[in-house]
Amino acid sequence: MSNTRGFVFKLVGIAGFTVLAVVAVLFLPPVPQDLAYHDFADQRTLYGIPNFWDVVSNVPFVIAGLLGLLQLAGKQSVPGGLSELRTAYRVFFAGVLLTGFGSAYYHLDPTNASLVWDRLPMTLAFMAFFSMVIGEYLSPGLGRALLWPLLAVGILSIVYWHMTERAGHGDLRPYGLVQFLPMVLIPMILLMFRSRLNGAVFLWAMIAAYVVSKITEYYDAEIYMATGALSGHSIKHIAAAVGTLFIIIALRRRRPVGNDCTAT
C-alpha cells in the first residue's frame, strides 16, 4: 500500500510540474523564430551541395532509423522492450529516419518554410520516445494510450508555429514545450520510478547524447573556428544519431526485471 501511495504521489508531482510549466509558458509573450537561426557557421559548398557538411551529417540519422526499423521488422515481441510499446518504438525510429531527410532538405536552403520539414519528423521522434519512457516506467497501457495524443500535440505545435510565422506574428511557445518539457520530465521519471526493464544506462546515454547535441549546436561557430573542419551543428547531428544507437542496443540487451515499477 505504501508503494502504491508513493507511486501516486510521484505521479501527481509529475503532472503538477507539467501543468505549472504549461501555465508559465502561456504567460510568456509570443516568441517568433529568430531569422539569425538560419545563419549557420559552415556554409561551404562542396561537390555542388550547399552547406555540404550540415547536409551530409544527417546520413547517420537515416542509418540509425533504418537499423532500428529493421530490428523490429516482422517481430511481434521486442526482447529488450515491451511488446505493448512496439508501435511507439517503430514511430521513434521512423521519426529518426525521416529527420535525416527533413534536416538535409532544410540545410540545403535554410528558411522558416524548410525548417518545418526538419522539425516535424524530429518532433515525432521526441513524442514517441516520451511515450516509450512513460510505458516502460509508469504503465505500458498509459504509454500506448498517450502515443497518438502526444504525436498529435507535437504535429499541432509545428502547424501552429508555421501558421503564425506566415501571418507575421510567429510563436514558438508550443513547440518549445514539446521539445524541451519531455527532456525535463524524462530524467525526472527515470529517477523517481523503476522500470520494468533493466539497462536504464542506455536511456541515460541517450539523454547524454541529446545534451551533447544541444551544446554543440549552441557553440556552432566556436567549434567551427576551432576545428576548421566540422561545425558544432554538424556534430550535433552526429551526436543525436549516436543517441538513437543506444536505444537500438537497449532493445537488444535489456531484459524484464519484474512487474513492480511503483517506486525506486
Domain boundaries, given as residue ranges, for the chain:
2-253
Helix (H, G, I), strand (E, B) or coil at 51: coil
Beta bridge partners of 152: none
Confidence (pLDDT) at 245? 97
Confidence (pLDDT) at 258? 63
Confidence (pLDDT) at 1? 58
State the Cα–Cα distance between residues 213 and 28, nearest whole angstrom. Answer: 26
The helix (H) or strand (E) run that includes residue 177 is: helix 173-192
State the Cα–Cα distance between residues 258 and 235, nearest whole angstrom. Answer: 38
pLDDT in 10s for each residue of the chain, 264 residues = 567 888 888 889 999 999 999 999 989 999 999 999 999 999 999 999 999 999 999 999 999 999 999 999 977 778 899 999 999 999 999 999 999 999 999 999 999 999 999 999 999 999 999 999 999 999 999 999 999 999 999 999 999 999 999 999 999 999 999 989 999 999 999 999 999 999 999 999 999 999 999 999 999 999 999 998 999 999 999 999 999 999 999 999 999 986 444 433
Which of 154, 58, 170, 155 has the alpha carbon at shortest distance from 107?
Answer: 58
Confidence (pLDDT) at 78? 84
Look up cell 561557430; give the residue. Answer: 221
State the Cα–Cα distance between residues 184 and 92, nearest whole angstrom. Answer: 18
Q: What are phi and psi of 219, to 5 degrees?
A: -100, 40
Beta bridge partners of 256: 197
Query: The pTM is what?
Result: 0.93
State the Cα–Cα distance between residues 257 and 126, nearest whole angstrom. Answer: 26
Q: Could you tell me which CATH number the domain at 2-253 has?
A: 1.20.1070
Hey, what's the cell of 136? Answer: 516502460
CA dihedral 200, 252, 234, 123 (to 10 degrees): -70
Hey, what's the cell of 46? Answer: 562542396
